[in-house]
Amino acid sequence: MNATILRLELLRQFREFMGLFFIVILPAFFYLIFGASMDFSDAPAGNGNVAMSIMIAMAAYGAVVATTSIGGQAAVERMQGWGRQLGLTPLRDSTYVATKALVAVIIAAMPIALIYTLGGLTGAQGDTRAWVLSALIVIPGAALFALWGLVWGLAIRSESAIAVASGSTVVLAFLGNMFMPLSGTLLTIAKFTPLYGYAALARYPLTEGWLATMDGSDLAREPLWVPLVNVAAWTVLLALIATLLVRRGRARQ
């Protein structure tokens, strides 16, 4: 790991105010509006309350926006010739990837820290195990979505890839059951979308698989293998596509 490069890469993220807005401020705002300020926020949910559940979802959402945009940036930068410039230095590819990953984790930790603090101040409740475990699941889970950004960056090869990748996370977050509880057919479809498994796993220490509903119908409990299979399948699929796209890029050079 190289301290100067890590510092400069972090500096680049902090200078990008609009990026930080979507990563940190917007999800925190969502939590306050859709979580903390709602009447149902102190209704019980698993080992805690609904506010806690929404808090975890919003922190997970912010973390995913962070890793997606950093992954997309990395791909676009390399495509646009920075990769060639770095190819003229002793810097190893593995060091470069590790630095970018660490930057992604640090930036992804920001919305988690802010939203968990807000949660603690505004009445999110859960047992200690749920607080700690959910945060620990969100970070590596979000790292997976660096691949989502990477795939778009490799496919589109321009700055618009970053917009497509991080913009698409809004839709995927809806389908991932992160913004509001889904039910019926939509929930069945949702289980196949990439953010579903990640969000369900992050909330698992709190809910232990019990799904929230909007209409007061009977609660259903989802077995742990559903989100696990979702995450595993999407990881393999995205990694496969990324590999194919890297090969295509190399052949064309």
Residues at the interface with another protein (CB under 8 A): 2-5, 8, 11-12, 15-16, 77, 80-82, 84-91, 251-253
Q: Which residues pair with 221 in a beta bridge?
A: 210
Q: Coil, strand or helix: which one is 156?
A: helix
Nearer to another protein, 12 or 129 (CB): 12
Least separation in angstroms between CB 121 and another protein: 34
**Of 90 and 184, which CB lies nearer to another protein in the complex structure?**
90
C-beta of 87 vs 140, nearer to another protein: 87
Q: How far is the CB of 164 from another protein (least distance, A)?
A: 19
- Nearest approach, Cβ of residue 230 and another protein (Å): 35
Nearest-angstrom CA–CA distance, 208 and 46: 7
Helix (H, G, I), strand (E, B), or coil: what is residue 211? strand
Token pair for 58? 């919003």
Residue with tokens 């709602």: 38
The nearer residue to another protein, 17 or 225, going by C-beta atoms, is: 17
- In the chain, % helix, strand, coil (3-state, to 5) comes to 80, 5, 20
Task: Give the helix/strand (H/E) hosting 238.
Answer: helix 225-252
We find the least distance from the C-beta atom of residue 17 to another protein, in angstroms, to be: 12
